[in-house]
Each structure stands twice: as structure tokens, then as C-alpha cells.
Amino acid sequence: MGEMITIPLDEYQALLHAAEDLDDLRAFDRAKAALATGEDELVPAETLKRLLSGESPLRVWRELRGLTQSGLASASGVNRVQIADIEASRRKGSLETARKLADALGIAIDDLV
């Protein structure tokens, strides 16, 4: 067995809290770096509310980017009618379609599903 030490419980708990605080600071630094490099972005609370309420993610992200359906169609190469059908939940669209739309919106495919 390795060497052991004994410390009072309150010191041990203080060390645990300090370790948790350090983890939080590191996570904060990673988040700030991701924002600074453009790897991540801040999303308005209203956008999150719309997504969480079940609104079409494609519509929410398209409107956040300030695009019309025609504008997104031009940027992605996906037919505008297909975009309208996906937003209205009449069709799902293929994985390739989702990739094109996500790329045009600057988001991950996971953000559309």
C-alpha cells in the first residue's frame, strides 16, 4: 500500500471544493476560447425557447441567420419547397440535405434534429 496522510475532514472538504472551483474555471476558460475562435457562439435566449418549445429547428436557425427560405435555398443548394416542407414537418429530408442545410447555416447537423 502507498503512503497515507490524515487530515481533518474540514480541510479535506475545502480541498474538494477548491478542486471543483478549478474545474469550473477551466471549463469557463475553454468556453471563452471557443467563443473567441468562432468555434462556438452565443445563442439568444429567445432562440433557445423556440427550440425547446418544439418549433422547427430549421426555421429557428434560418431566421436567426436572417435568411429567407429562398436565401437558404441559394446558400445550400436545397430546393426552397423542400426547405418549406421540412420546416412544416411534411418531410424530413435526407442526411445529405441536412448536411447541406447545416453547412449553409454554420451549425452542426445535430442542431437540426
Per-residue pLDDT in tens (0 to 9) along the chain, 113 residues: 789 999 999 999 999 999 999 999 999 999 999 999 988 899 999 999 999 999 999 999 999 999 999 999 999 999 999 999 999 999 999 999 999 999 999 999 999 98
Cα distances (angstroms) measured from residue 75 to each of 60, 70, 100, 101: 16, 9, 9, 8
The CATH superfamily assigned to 45-112 is lambda repressor-like DNA-binding domains (1.10.260.40)
Q: Each residue of 65-86: pLDDT tens digit?
A: 999 999 999 999 999 999 999 9
What is the model's pTM?
A: 0.74
Domain segments of the chain as ranges: 8-40, 45-112
* Cα radius of gyration rounded to whole Å, the chain: 22
